[in-house]
């Protein structure tokens, strides 16, 4: 059964390993989220046939990296087959300490940066320990990106990719706006370490097809931002995008599965 048929027949898809590369968990003060906890997240994943999600707790990104990273780890430990954690690094809240505390913990498979929420530029020196860690280990870094932002616009994303060519950097939301998508594509074409993650409010299937056409299926990854945004919004765009089956499978999960394998590389 194709994924489209699974949607039409209202059954979970089983044909492709779907990995959500951009997830959170828990309440967020700015607006009400029904059922923001991991139990409902797993239920929604099961409803659609999403195998795995990589998440950072809302507490970690919005307020308290220390308590929030502990919360992320607890969520992952509760369902290790369904979740991997992003270690949130807040430049104002002891980046070295957080990396030291959690860097070797297999609960975490990536690092999450949110310069817009922390009023600190992605290019700033306080993030230096993150780039050192990412280059040394191969741990992917997911950063929020937004066209026109003073903290994480595409020029800043590209600048850190230039400075740290050995790092794998996921541009979260791929710039977030139609202009942002264009700029993200151009930056990714110039910087091989830069990948595009497609969640957000303004992306469409045709935008995703353009990203894949311009930078390759191996550098575009599905993410949803759930439970910030419902998982099915972004998922539907990818499913019905018209991408070739192989490319779509890479975007939906193949590429992210590969990116999460960096710890096994360290062990060899």
Contact residues: other proteins, CB under 8 A = 7-8, 10, 30-36, 40, 43-44, 47-48, 178, 201, 203-206, 226-233, 235-237, 239-241
Give the residue with the Cβ less far from other proteins, 164 or 173: 173
CA-CA distance, 87 to 22, in Å (whole number)?
A: 12
154 contacts 174 by C-beta, under 8 angstroms: no
- What six digits make up the tokens of 229? 């945004």
Give the residue with the Cβ less far from other proteins, 103 or 205: 205
Give the residue with the Cβ less far from other proteins, 53 or 89: 53
Q: How far is the CB of 26 from other proteins (least distance, A)?
A: 11
Give the residue with the Cβ less far from other proteins, 36 or 171: 36
Q: How far is the CB of 252 from other proteins (least distance, A)?
A: 13
Give the residue with the Cβ less far from other proteins, 4 or 67: 4
Q: How far is the CB of 91 from other proteins (least distance, A)?
A: 26
Q: How far is the CB of 257 from other proteins (least distance, A)?
A: 22
Q: Are strands 19-25 and 141-144 parallel, antiparallel or unpaired?
A: unpaired
Q: Are strands 194-197 and 169-172 parallel, antiparallel or unpaired?
A: parallel
Residue with tokens 């490319």: 247
What residues form DSSP beta bridges with 143?
Answer: 113, 171
93 contacts 104 by C-beta, under 8 angstroms: no
Reported as half-sphere exposure (CB side, CA atoms, 13 A), residue 159 has a value of 12
171 contacts 156 by C-beta, under 8 angstroms: no
């Amino acid at each position: 059964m194709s994924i489209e048929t699974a949607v039409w027949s209202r059954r979970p898809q089983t044909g492709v390993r779907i990995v959500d590369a951009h997830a959170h968990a828990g309440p967020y003060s700015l607006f009400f989220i029904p059922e923001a906890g991991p139990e409902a997240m797993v239920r929604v994943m099961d409803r659609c046939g999403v195998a795995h999600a990589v998440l950072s707790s809302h507490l970690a990104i919005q307020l308290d990296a220390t308590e929030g990273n502990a919360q992320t780890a607890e969520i992952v430990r509760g369902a290790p087959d369904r979740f991997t954690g992003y270690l949130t690094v807040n430049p104002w809240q002891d980046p070295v300490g957080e990396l030291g505390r959690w860097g070797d913990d297999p609960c975490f498979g990536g690092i999450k940066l949110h310069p817009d929420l922390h009023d600190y530029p992605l290019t700033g020196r306080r993030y230096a320990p993150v780039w050192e860690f990412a280059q040394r280990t191969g741990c992917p870094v997911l950063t929020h990106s937004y066209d026109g932002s003073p903290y994480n616009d595409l020029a800043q994303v590209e600048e850190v990719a230039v400075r740290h060519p050995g790092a794998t950097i996921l541009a979260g939301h791929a710039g977030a706006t139609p202009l942002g998508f264009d700029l993200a594509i151009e930056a990714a074409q110039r910087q091989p370490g830069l990948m595009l993650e497609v969640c957000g409010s303004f992306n469409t299937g045709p935008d995703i097809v353009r990203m894949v056409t311009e930078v390759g299926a191996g550098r575009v990854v599905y993410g949803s931002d759930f439970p910030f945004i419902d998982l099915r919004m972004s998922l539907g765009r990818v499913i019905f995008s018209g991408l070739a089956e192989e490319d779509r499978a890479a975007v939906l999960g193949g590429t992210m599965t590969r990116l999460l394998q960096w710890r096994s590389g360290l062990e060899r």
